[in-house]
Structure 1
Amino acid sequence: MKRFYLLLTILCVISISNLSAKTIQTYLPASSDADKRAQEVIKSVELQIQILVDELPIESNLQIKYGAKEGPFFDPELMEVHIPYEFVTEVLTRFKKDNYQETSVSPIEATQDAILHTLGHEYGHAFIFANQVVVLGKEEDAADTLATLLLIHSFENGTDIALSAADLFSLEDGDIDEFDDDHFWDEHSLDAQRYFSTLCLIYGSDPEKYADIIPKEQLSIERDLYCEEEYFRQTANWDRLKERYSILPNKS
């Protein structure tokens, strides 16, 4: 009987180990007080991050490195997501300067939300690469959509989390005085486009709750109806992704 329980315990440990090995979160040393603060903010949403990466499994091990020198970005050769502490500090500073607490969401909470969306975005790249998902069009747009759907379907307040992330796009767009060719050649859509695309999915997920986030000009051309259709279309795609990749073949 003791051997049975010992064997059962070993099997459980192996199972848990295999699951946790899929995505490893690593914190590089914090070299300043600002970095330490950024590290604390990331750690405060560590459990939510794990929920996000568990929602859609990938076929390769992935490492998330916090405190990297550059980023945020996904490195397909190393299978790593890099998130600099400086990025977190910059996001927190933006929300503080904008007096974001007036929205009833504190700058710290908004930064936590933005981190979740950013990680969802970079994890989306890793998911697309590792599972060889076919994407027609900009992969950056697909990763944005995936990040927003991850939030909406993973958390009860996922739409509110995504709303803070959308507001960050709006703040970044406000930093641009004029557009040049580099903006249009960039692999990402314009921040304003990313803002409205995210708002569209949020509205479509609950038109009654978010009735006020669609501008009147867009209502006049029935953009609200498009957003509802877009949300249901993308949710159907989401369901197909989950059905196809929720159980991955064991490659050991």
Structure 2
Amino acid sequence: MQPRLVASVARARTEGRRDAEKALALEMTALKPVVLTVRPAAGADKPGGTAFGYNYVRPKAPELDSFFALAQDGDLLRKLPELQAIDGLLVLPRPITFVTAQCQEPNAFYSAQRGEVVLCYETMKVLLERGRALEQEQSLGAGYAQAYLRANLRFIVLHETGHALIDLLEIPITGREEDAVDQLATTLMQRFAGMDESSAQVTDNLRMAANWFLVRSTGAYNLDAYADEHALGEQRYFNLQCLLYGSNPARYVGIVTEGDLPQARAKGCPAEARRVSRAWLRLLLPHIAPKFEMTEEKANRLFEQRERERSRNADIPYVR
């Protein structure tokens, strides 16, 4: 065979073998299982925030045992919807521990030294007694006293949480800190109410909290009261009513028509409510954990979505 012909045959064999190997490779690839590459959700690989701690301290006074049982058996603080929403959301220099304990007097406070928000059993006792008195005086129906207790302890705990956040995150506050944390508590109860709570229930919770301000007011004050770090009970009452009305004037118009908020104050409440909500959002956004980081616009969209879902959940019928 001539050399040129030999080379041509060899080249043909090589090309044929290469084509055959390529075809075999394609067939083998087709037989391999399909592997889907799932991209992790945005932020899934980023660190979360600082988790809260919870502690229910057994009281020494037997008359407070029922409140200890209420707190511990139901894991009361951990299950507050507002705390559930922000637990692990923020990056804190150290954890906040939420505590129920005997304090020798009705009280609630934030201890900067221990990093604790403390709710006293004596406060729970007084709140329940006040709720029972209202339930009886105004024929409000069974269960009102428990609702009054829960609504007020939610506001009180969130108020003290505000003090903790201002301290730990060194949040700048111009004006009275007590007013600022009242505003935060109100905002959290509106933004992070339980997903099964209706708008009417959210309103009732905040108005029960406002009622507690009036209960503690005497109407007659000395210089110490005017100099106190807290606003007068009547002022705190109307401030809360203003934020509630201002958040949705159409929904809460009854607050004005029923005389719980003077029209002169009500006119400025929508703008005031927007400023308060926007201010706290902007103050806290820089401290959101990388896992949940978001813009102000996205946060507002999430709030709106949560409100829609919560309203829908509250309206879904079921067999009773």
Query: Is contact 1:23-1:62 (8 Å) kept?
Result: yes
Give the drift of 1:73: 0.7
1:226 CA drift (Å): 0.8
The worse-fitting range, judged by mean Cα deviation, of 59-68 and 110-119 is: 59-68
Distance in 1, matches of 2:58 and 2:226, equals 36
1:161 maps to 2:205: yes
Summarize the Cα distance change of 1:226–1:128 in structure 2 as closer, same or farther, 3 Å threshold.
same
1:144 to 182, 203, 215: 182
Residue 26 of structure 1, aligned match among 33, 55, 61: 55
Map of 2:277 onto structure 1: 235
Change (3 A) 1:97 1:227: same
The question of 1:54 aligning with 2:83 is answered no
Aligned equivalent of 1:125? 163
Cα distance in 2 between the residues matched to 1:57 and 1:193: 31
In structure 1, the partner of 2:129 is 93
Aligned partner of 2:67 in structure 1 is: 38
Q: Cα distance 1:211–1:81, how it changes in 2: closer, same or farther (>3 A)?
A: same
Task: Report 1:8-19 matches (<5 A).
Answer: none
Residue 245 in structure 1 maps to residue 281 in structure 2 = no
Identity %: 25
Larger Rg over CA atoms:
2
Contact between 2:246 and 2:272, CA under 8 Å: does it hold in 1? Answer: yes
Cα deviation digits, residues 54-94 of structure 1 (max 9, x gap): 28625121112201416311111211112110111011111
Preserved CA contact (<8 Å) 1:184 1:190: yes
Instruction: Report the number of matched residues.
Output: 229
State the match for 1:108 in structure 2.
146
Query: In structure 2, do the counterparts of structure 1 residues 216 and 39 end up closer, same or farther at CA, with 3 Å as the change threshold?
Result: closer
Q: In the alignment, is the contact (CA less than 8 A) between 2:241 and 2:260 conserved in 1? A: no
Q: State whether residues 26 and 66 of structure 1, in contact with CA within 8 Å, keep that contact through their aligned partners in structure 2.
A: yes
Cα distance 1:52–1:68, how it changes in 2: closer, same or farther (>3 A)? Answer: farther
Q: For 1:73 and 1:54, locate their aligned partners in 2 and report how far apart those are by CA, in whole Å.
A: 19
Q: Which runs of 5+ in 2 are unaligned?
A: 1-46, 292-320
Distance 2:128 2:260 in 1: 30
Larger mean CA deviation between 76-85 and 207-216 belongs to 207-216
* Structure 1 position 103, deviation (Å): 5.0
1:115: how far off? 0.5
Correspondent of 1:212 among 254, 259, 263: 254
Contact residue 170 and residue 191 of structure 1 kept, 8 A:
yes
Q: CA deviation at 1:225?
A: 2.3
C-alpha distance in 2 between matches for 1:108 and 1:217: 26
